[in-house]
């Protein structure tokens, strides 16, 4: 089990913010994706900032709030949300098949202890999901992890930013 925790830390996942949870989303409307992004991802922030320490008990450094996000930032952020949702959904479906459609346990990429109770096969799927989500954000043109974290953190308390993200999700899903 400790090996899995170390693997997550080696990915640069800090403990704290980023609950990439594998629980299914009932609908895939822009509003539900936004809620997942702001609430469920309320920390993609951590995928994102890395571990400064090997101690799992330390809190992550607070993410600065975005005072303004450009239209390009919002578009890149929304694209990342949509792509990560596809990855999450595939992992969720794979786990459901392995567990005979039982409820998927909460799996949070930045909390290695959330993986400890899972079978080795399901741990592998969850770790792969976390790695792929992090890689996608790393490779999204025009989006840094810091910027993604800042937008996520800011959107939690900024209804105007939430609306801009939701509008962009609607636009992207219409294309």
Is the pLDDT confidence value at 115 over 70?
yes
Nearest CA-CA partner of 88 in 32, 7, 12: 32
Is the pLDDT confidence value at 104 over 90?
no
**CA 172 – CA 111 distance, rounded (Å):** 31
**CA 97 – CA 18 distance, rounded (Å):** 25
Write down how long the chain is: 175
**pLDDT-based confidence at residue 2 (cuts at 50, 70, 90):** very low
- Do 20 and 64 form a contact (C-beta atoms < 8 A)? no
**pLDDT-based confidence at residue 168 (cuts at 50, 70, 90):** very high
Tell me the two tokens of residue 134: 């992090």
**CA 16 – CA 151 distance, rounded (Å):** 17
**pLDDT-based confidence at residue 153 (cuts at 50, 70, 90):** confident
Within 8 A by CB and 6+ apart from 128, the residues are 91
pLDDT digits (tens, 9 = 90+) for 30-89: 555 555 554 444 333 333 333 223 334 444 445 455 567 899 999 999 999 888 888 888
Burial (CB count within 10 angstroms: exposed 0-12, middle 13-18, buried 19+), residue 65? middle
Tell me the two tokens of residue 100: 């005979």
The percent of the chain in helix, strand and coil, each rounded to the nearest 5, is 60, 0, 40
**CA 18 – CA 25 distance, rounded (Å):** 17
Overall average pLDDT of the 90-104 stretch: 84
Q: What is the pLDDT of residue 34?
A: 54
Domain ranges (residues) in the chain: 2-51+81-174
pLDDT digits (tens, 9 = 90+) for 125-139: 988 988 888 888 888
* pTM of the full structure: 0.61
Is the pLDDT confidence value at 101 over 80?
no
Overall average pLDDT of the 144-161 stretch: 87
């Amino acid at each position: 089990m400790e090996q899995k925790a170390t693997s997550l830390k080696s990915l640069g996942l800090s403990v704290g913010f980023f609950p990439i949870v594998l629980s299914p989303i009932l609908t895939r409307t822009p509003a539900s994706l936004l809620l997942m992004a702001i609430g469920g991802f309320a920390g993609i922030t951590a995928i994102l900032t890395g571990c400064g320490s090997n101690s799992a008990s330390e809190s992550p450094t607070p993410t600065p709030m975005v005072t303004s996000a450009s239209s390009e930032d919002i578009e890149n952020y929304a694209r990342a949300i949509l792509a990560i949702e596809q990855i999450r959904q595939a992992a969720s479906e794979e786990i459901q098949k392995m567990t005979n459609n039982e409820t998927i346990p909460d799996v949070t990429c930045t909390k290695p202890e959330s993986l400890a109770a899972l079978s080795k096969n399901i741990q592998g799927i969850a770790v792969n999901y976390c790695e792929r989500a992090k890689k996608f954000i790393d490779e999204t043109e025009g989006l840094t992890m810091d910027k993604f974290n800042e937008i996520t953190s800011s959107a939690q308390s900024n209804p105007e930013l939430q609306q801009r993200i939701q509008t962009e999700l609607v636009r992207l899903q219409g294309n």
